[in-house]
Structure 1
Amino acid sequence: MMARVAVFALTLLAVVTPPVLGARDGDSEDVVLERFREYLRITSVHPSPDYAATTRLLLAHASSISLQSRVLEYVEGKPLVLLTWVGREPQLPSVLLNSHTDVVPAEKAKWLHPPFDAHMDEAGNIFARGSQDMKCVGMQYLEALRVLKNSGFQPLRTLHVTFVPDEEIGGHDGMGKFVASPLFQELNVGVVLDEGIASPDSHYRVFNGERSPWWFIIKSVGSPAHGSKLFDNSAMENLMKSLEPIMRYRQSQFDLVKAGLAAQGEVVSVNPVYLKAGTPTPTGFVMNLQPSEAEAGFDMRVSPLTDPNMLESRLKNEWAPASRNMTYSFKQKEPLLNKKGLPLITAVDESNPWWPLLQAAISEAGGKLGKPEIFPAATDCRYLRHEGIPAFGFSPMVNTPVLLHDHNEFINKGEYLKGIDVYVHIIRKFLAFEGGHSDMASRAEL
């Protein structure tokens, strides 16, 4: 379905109660932090995220720093905000900064402070759902652009900033549909920055690939029987025979991580998430009846370093063999290869001109960059890498515990403010890059 595109006029923005915008030079730290905390207070949480409120806030900020803005709805009620700063040479491949506006639920009773109050304690820790994942990054983009605009910087390349919905539930109605649209092709994107993970030490983490979700269900069938009867190939027996090799494989992958031979993003994780069998009644399960069906669901995350054909062969022949009256199906199965048949990994060598630019920018900002990693979960970067576009996962948080999706998620105000400066260096470096069209050569071959 063609996107509904809304270009918000000043009359619409005038009815918005704006945040503390302060587009002048010299905004105090308190003003900058309050803009962030206001974003955190919006309950854009599943299953009913308040996307209308995030959209109003983001458009108000865009207006305050003179960014072009469009709102796209590929699915009704799920707005994607697209902001643009046109460069002096707009024919050059553009830079895209992406973040998502949705967050996962939080168990309020298990938090020190209400998860949508954006409480800041005496140590400067800001507690809120989304403070790490990833409202911090989205607002840091805008604050960095505010600094660059106020400094008089004029970009060579065009910059686009996207705030997308639904990343936490797969991104299919957000980034997935956006990348498949004709409008996205017109943007001529040359490189993408998206979310990363906090670093407990002093090195920033950067991700050049990620594991693909393969969520699968195995199901076994057999004859029903009295609970006392012993017979071969019951549904439960066959399911249990499958659980054993799956858990052995899980342990073999985990052993590599424990031994320091591989990072989590480099192995396959497979975890059981539900078991379903038995004959239920209003007062419990029937105990003297062996069921005729049994099934189990698994969340499997597959590294781009994995041979997908060998893994599916294992699933078909060992974990759910037809010889034991078993079947398997996928709830979600993301590709491991891009359109050219290559792994979904962004190059971090001389073949990718954006990589040394990123390294130099972080160094100039006074930061230290760790070894590139495979992201252990899934992000919207996978949609871009599938198109052959270089994409880096990066969230500027060091000396910070990893708390995405955890209780008491927080970011310290010092790390948040420092991250803005890091993005100032990165964005300036990327937008001043004179690499011409050669940096898009590999994508043009796809």
Structure 2
Amino acid sequence: MDTKNYFRILITTLSIVLIAFSYITKSESPDSHLISRFQQYLQINTAQPNPNYKPAADFILSQAKSIGLDVQVLEYVKSKPVILLTWQGKEKYLPSILLNSHIDVVPAEKEKWVHDPFLAHKDSNGDIYARGSQDMKCVGLQYLEALRNLKNRGFVPRRTIHASFVPDEEIGGHDGAEMFVGSKDFESLNVGVVLDEGLASPDENYRVFYGERSPWWLVIKAVGAPGHGSKLYDNSAMENLLKSVETIMKFRAAQFDLVKAGLAAEGEVISVNPVFMKAGTPTPTGFVMNLQPSEAEAGFDIRVSPGTNAESLEKRIAEEWAPASRNMTFQLKQKKPIKNKLGLPFMTIANHSNPWWTLLEAAILKVGGKLHKPEIFPAATDACFVRDHGVPAFGFSPMANTPILLHDHNEFLNEAEYLKGVGVYEAIIESYASYTEAVVDRDSLSEL
């Protein structure tokens, strides 16, 4: 073998060794373990209406054990566990911190995803595709990784830190957070502030939410005489329902125009979206085409902004959207106004008169994050239940430069953004758990 060939083979061999070493080092890096744990959690199918809570609970409990957190499993409704993890602070008289997340996710239409929604596939860009990657399994695991990091570097919290993992948020939270927050268990925690979910931000600024809209789920039903498909007559069920839909859509457009014009944020208007319409006489091959139906029904998801006059809105529904004069009735399947002592929804103060806001903002800025102006959450979260009890709560998910994909096809979160969020939570938790100044009365931390 000549010298040139010898050195060519030697260089090639060394290159292969270096590549292999680099791969092994990378695969065993702390970051790869964080991403692997995130993927494991995402791969557990907890989609409604049949969430598989047991393996998810087992996974959370195994992580808590590895971190060294105290554990309680509370079950207010059979097979719907509330998992409460605790890191005791050295000054137990101080109000505690609660980090809340929900375990369940919404269903996914597998055939409409580029990757299986429960495989947690990571593509070449580092985007992790999974149901729950944004809403909100990311946040639950980021809490745990932040606590793990704080433990590993010897941090000693002054305040007690709790992390709760609750069921059924995606169907209203009634068997989960609502029962937990209304229990003696919650009362005994002496919670001073709660962090819950927020939304992704398409730009570089994080979003923080200090209140939220209340969901009203409206079903309108119209009745009328059946008739031949060729017959023209007034007040048929379908005619009246379509008139109602037209009226509602005009209201929706007027509210939406305020958002488009920049005159109001999404959380400050009343949104109305049709979610189903049901009418006609079905057959095995379709619908009877020459028969006008005697009943027609439509459903709408309404999100009511804080400060809305509920009586006026319900009057509008009764008189304009579903008037009895047109043989129409309506039912509010869910009407969830969260009220304070003055009859209006609780909102947490998001300015420097609230020390929890000041600490949150400073911690995010400290690690290089940027913030949008605080907002009203456009949907509903479990934070509404704690605010109803006078406990300040902020909705925050550290996802910047990320499209908003909760409940959408191809929901994903980039691994770099996930890891960055762990660091953000680490800074927030450390700041909150170190705070010892006197805290003003709970009621003074909420506003109308």
For residue 246 of structure 1, give the secondary structure of its aligned residue in structure 2: helix
Name the residue aligned to 2:17. Answer: none
Name the residue aligned to 2:120. Answer: 118
Name the residue aligned to 2:86. Answer: 84
Amino acid at match of 2:223: V
Amino acid at match of 2:91: E
How far off is 1:140 after superposition? 0.7
Residues in 2 aligned to 1:399 and 1:225: alpha-carbon distance in whole angstroms: 55
Name the residue aligned to 1:389. Answer: 391
Deviations 1:413-443 (A, max 9, x none): 2111111111111001111111335243548
Name the residue aligned to 1:158. Answer: 160
Name the residue aligned to 2:430. Answer: 428
Q: What pairs with 1:56-95 in structure 2 (closer than 5 Å)?
A: 56-95=58-97
Residues in 2 aligned to 1:140 and 1:169: alpha-carbon distance in whole angstroms: 23
Residues 290 and 336 from structure 1, CA distance in 2 versus in 1: closer, same or farther, beyond 3 angstroms? same
> Which moves more between the two structures, 305-314 or 206-215?
305-314
Larger Rg: 2
For residue 84 of structure 1, give the secondary structure of its aligned residue in structure 2: strand
Name the residue aligned to 2:407. Answer: 405
**Are the counterparts in 2 of residues 192 and 392 from structure 1 also a CA contact under 8 Å?**
yes
**Are the counterparts in 2 of residues 85 and 159 from structure 1 also a CA contact under 8 Å?**
yes
Name the residue aligned to 1:18. Answer: none
Amino acid at match of 1:382: C
**Are the counterparts in 1 of residues 270 and 303 from structure 2 also a CA contact under 8 Å?**
yes
The alignment status of 1:348 with 2:350, answered yes or no, reads yes
**Are the counterparts in 2 of residues 266 and 305 from structure 1 also a CA contact under 8 Å?**
no
Name the residue aligned to 1:187. Answer: 189
Deviations 1:164-223 (A, max 9, x none): 111112211111111121211111211110111111111011111112110011122233
How far off is 1:82 after superposition? 0.4
Residues in 2 aligned to 1:164 and 1:75: alpha-carbon distance in whole angstroms: 12
> Which moves more between the two structures, 66-75 or 28-37?
28-37
Deviations 1:384-441 (A, max 9, x none): 1111211111011111111222222221121111111111110011111113352435
Amino acid at match of 1:209: G
> Which moves more between the two structures, 29-38 or 55-64?
29-38
**Are the counterparts in 1 of residues 267 and 377 from structure 2 also a CA contact under 8 Å?**
yes
> Which moves more between the two structures, 268-277 or 52-61?
268-277
Amino acid at match of 1:217: V
Residues 437 and 36 from structure 1, CA distance in 2 versus in 1: closer, same or farther, beyond 3 angstroms? same
TM-score w.r.t. length of structure 2: 0.89
**Quick one: percent identity of the two aligned structures?**
65
For residue 250 of structure 1, give the secondary structure of its aligned residue in structure 2: helix
Deviations 1:322-378 (A, max 9, x none): 222221111111104335523332111244221111111101111111111111111
Name the residue aligned to 2:18. Answer: none
- Of 279, 293, 296 in structure 1, the residue corresponding to residue 295 of structure 2 is 293
**Are the counterparts in 2 of residues 308 and 336 from structure 1 also a CA contact under 8 Å?**
no
- Of 95, 102, 127 in structure 2, the residue corresponding to residue 100 of structure 1 is 102
Residues 64 and 439 from structure 1, CA distance in 2 versus in 1: closer, same or farther, beyond 3 angstroms? farther
Amino acid at match of 1:195: E
Amino acid at match of 1:429: S
How far off is 1:97 after superposition? 0.3
**Are the counterparts in 1 of residues 349 and 446 from structure 2 also a CA contact under 8 Å?**
no
**Are the counterparts in 2 of residues 92 and 437 from structure 1 also a CA contact under 8 Å?**
no
**Are the counterparts in 2 of residues 304 and 336 from structure 1 also a CA contact under 8 Å?**
no
For residue 116 of structure 2, give the secondary structure of its aligned residue in structure 1: coil
How far off is 1:227 after superposition? 4.0
**Are the counterparts in 1 of residues 337 and 345 from structure 2 also a CA contact under 8 Å?**
no
How far off is 1:121 after superposition? 2.2
How far off is 1:229 after superposition? 4.2
Amino acid at match of 2:216: W
> Which moves more between the two structures, 364-373 or 399-408?
399-408
Name the residue aligned to 1:359. Answer: 361
Residues in 1 aligned to 2:34 and 2:415: alpha-carbon distance in whole angstroms: 10
For residue 418 of structure 1, give the secondary structure of its aligned residue in structure 2: helix
Unmatched segments (≥5 aa) in structure 1 = 1-25
Name the residue aligned to 1:8. Answer: none
For residue 384 of structure 2, give the secondary structure of its aligned residue in structure 1: helix
Q: What pairs with 1:5-404 in structure 2 (closer than 5 Å)?
A: 28-404=30-406
For residue 330 of structure 2, give the secondary structure of its aligned residue in structure 1: strand
Name the residue aligned to 2:16. Answer: none
How far off is 1:108 after superposition? 2.4
How far off is 1:288 after superposition? 4.0
Unmatched segments (≥5 aa) in structure 2 = 1-27
For residue 176 of structure 2, give the secondary structure of its aligned residue in structure 1: helix
Residues 117 and 232 from structure 1, CA distance in 2 versus in 1: closer, same or farther, beyond 3 angstroms? closer
**Are the counterparts in 2 of residues 190 and 439 from structure 1 also a CA contact under 8 Å?**
no
> Which moves more between the two structures, 206-215 or 217-226?
217-226
For residue 300 of structure 1, give the secondary structure of its aligned residue in structure 2: strand
Amino acid at match of 1:389: V
Residues in 1 aligned to 2:399 and 2:335: alpha-carbon distance in whole angstroms: 31
> Which moves more between the two structures, 235-244 or 259-268?
235-244
Residues in 1 aligned to 2:237 and 2:130: alpha-carbon distance in whole angstroms: 45
Residues 287 and 332 from structure 1, CA distance in 2 versus in 1: closer, same or farther, beyond 3 angstroms? same
Deviations 1:115-165 (A, max 9, x none): 222222222222222111111111110111111112222111111100111
Residues in 2 aligned to 1:225 and 1:111: alpha-carbon distance in whole angstroms: 43
Residues in 1 aligned to 2:289 and 2:111: alpha-carbon distance in whole angstroms: 37
> C-alpha root-mean-square deviation of aligned residues, in Å?
2.1
How far off is 1:260 after superposition? 1.7
Q: How many residues align?
A: 420
Residues in 2 aligned to 1:79 and 1:151: alpha-carbon distance in whole angstroms: 31
How far off is 1:27 after superposition? 6.4
Residues in 1 aligned to 2:397 and 2:44: alpha-carbon distance in whole angstroms: 21
> Which moves more between the two structures, 276-285 or 395-404?
276-285
How far off is 1:45 after superposition? 1.9
Residues in 1 aligned to 2:354 and 2:280: alpha-carbon distance in whole angstroms: 55
